[in-house]
Chain A
């Protein structure tokens, strides 16, 4: 995405200049296009990283983690600052090293900590007639994105 040519229908903006130096001033300049196109952050999406896994979210989305998130309770507010991409219908702001967290505000709340439905896994060893039964019921953490805007 970062190397898409400017002639494409979707314009990509890479904050890293040709000599590899990231300048904040250029980033701020480039966010103008996104702000203009974002329809008051209604048509805005972001790709954020949580435990280094990317999640493409818009405002009001639920992120479903297949684990129990450590150190959080239901109702807690989280601030996401590891974001690689922010986009609107016509523009993308992309940075592999992460977008400067001063430029946006993405927040989420822990809505639910629950479990997956119960199921059993069977394991069979060679030359043994017994079937090992392993009960599985993993935790789930559900986060809701309640703030996604450009500063």
Chain B
């Protein structure tokens, strides 16, 4: 039988070389009449949305006027989307949600109960008793 090489898929490790921010588009949908969109209207009139856009130059910010409750939509790389309803939220709450969600990767939230997540092989390998010095070996 011929020897087959073991297929090893390449890993996408954003940030190992250059870092590309996963969130590339934010859509702010609001209503010009409804009371639940009041904070968004305030943010637009005071220029806070403009400030957010100028601070995050790699995010495309789109403002959509549509009847209904206001929604923030976030587009991430790998065609992932996330949306938050922001009805009756205050301006500070909306700004916090904007900055929080734009710094995420779009992946599902998960809790990793260890300190370091590694894809590399162990540097020192598996400990072997055969390589221990004779004086320290376990004697039967």
Contacts and interface: CB of A to CB of B under 8 A. Distances in A.
Interface stretch (B1-9, B30-38, B46-54, B125-133): B125-133
B45 interface: no
Given A60-B13, A144-B15, A146-B15, A89 B123 contact: yes
Nearest to A58: B120
Contact residues on B (Cβ < 8 Å of other chain), bracket: 20 to 34
A75 B116 contact: no
B12 to A, nearest CB: 11
Contacts, number: 90
A57 B125 CA distance: 14
Interface string B7-35: 00000011111010110000000000000
Interface string A101-135: 00000000101111111100000000000000000
B114 interface: yes
Contacts of B131: 9
A64 B100 CA distance: 17
A116 B133 contact: no
27 contacts: A45-B123, A56-B116, A58-B120, A58-B123, A60-B13, A61-B119, A63-B116, A64-B112, A64-B114, A64-B115, A64-B117, A74-B21, A87-B124, A88-B123, A89-B123, A109-B19, A111-B19, A112-B103, A113-B104, A114-B105, A114-B109, A116-B109, A116-B111, A144-B14, A144-B16, A146-B16, A146-B17
Interface of B: 13-17, 19, 21-22, 100, 103-105, 109-112, 114-120, 123-125, 131-133, 135-136
